[in-house]
Amino acid sequence: MRVTTTGSDGSRRLPESGGERIRRAAYELFSRNGVRDVGVDAVIARAGTAKMTLYRNFPSKDDLILDFLRRRERLWTEEWLQHESQLRGTRPQDQLLAIFDLFSEWFERPDFEGCAFLTTMMAVNDKGSPVFQASVAHLARIRGYLRELAEAAGVADPDQVARQWHVLMKGSIMAAHEGDAGAASAARELGVLLLRAHGVPD
């Protein structure tokens, strides 16, 4: 079944399939509440679809979570983190530091939900699970982006810098969960020291 939605300006949008409504509902619920505490019935209720529609598109909850993680990578990693950090800095070291400027704004948002890849990995906690492995793979692709920037900045060991930078990112996210309002700024200061230690001017 497809429904036609109306935009805020009154214009008619393209019909949205039941599968897409489920994807959108799952993304909103999983982002806010985590994958462990959200059942398929909650997703179905939020999407306003039949259970048959969900299982026709996603045979299991794991399939729905994997779709959520792929969507999260596109929206959070690619369209937000990578895109915005490149807009805010001309040099690669500026783009690395811009990540923490983005985080500072993100942490202040009332809908700050943390890193979905980390929370999903911890919720599943089974290294053989496809969901766990997908979470690890998504995190590795973030490090891949950091490695590209570190290499462009001219550091001798971009893999090491990427791992260290990712530790700063993940640590600041967890600190923000604790209520540390200055977590992003503290991580940025450490990032500056890290760049200097590797001979990169900040």
Task: Answer yes or no: CATH 1.10.10.10 is held by domain 61-202.
Answer: no
| 139-169 residue pLDDT tens | 999 999 999 999 999 999 999 999 999 999 9
Question: Where does the pLDDT of residue 4 fall: very low under 50, low under 70, confident under 90, or very high at 90 and above?
Answer: very low
| 102-119 residue pLDDT tens | 999 999 999 999 999 999
pLDDT of 90 above 90: yes
What pTM value is reported for the model?
0.88
Residue ranges of the domains in the chain? 14-59, 61-202
Question: Where does the pLDDT of residue 13 fall: very low under 50, low under 70, confident under 90, or very high at 90 and above?
Answer: low
Contacting residues for 62 by C-beta, under 8 A, at least 6 apart: 129, 130, 131
Contacting residues for 85 by C-beta, under 8 A, at least 6 apart: 95, 96, 98, 99, 102
Q: How is domain 14-59 classified at the CATH fold level?
A: Arc Repressor Mutant, subunit A (1.10.10)
